[in-house]
Amino acid sequence: MNGVGFIGAIIIGIFAGWLAEKIMGRNHGLLTNLVVGLVGALIGAFLASMFNIHFMGWVGSIIVSTIGAVLLLFLLGLFKKRA
């Protein structure tokens, strides 16, 4: 999340977590959405850097964070089914 600041990262994390929740058909609370969104942002940024994809600003951060959050929820769903 380049150049959005601390408060911006929290807002983007909540929004990305909420979007991922809706895309994956889950129902979580605000705090879980924040955690999923922020961890998703780390995953998304890592993947974007691996594929040499550049993103900037709010929109790029939301897209990358949401993709990472969806991936995180998908992987967590795989582990949850096995347990």
- Residue-wise pLDDT for 34-59, tens only, equals 899 999 989 998 999 899 988 878 88
pTM, 2 dp: 0.88
pLDDT band at 73 (very low <50, low <70, confident <90, very high): very high
CA angle 70, 75, 76 (to 5 degrees): 95
The residue range of the domain holding 22 is 5-82
CA angle 66, 78, 43 (to 5 degrees): 30
Looking at the structure of the chain, the number of domains it has is 1
Would you state the pLDDT for residue 58? 86
pLDDT band at 5 (very low <50, low <70, confident <90, very high): confident
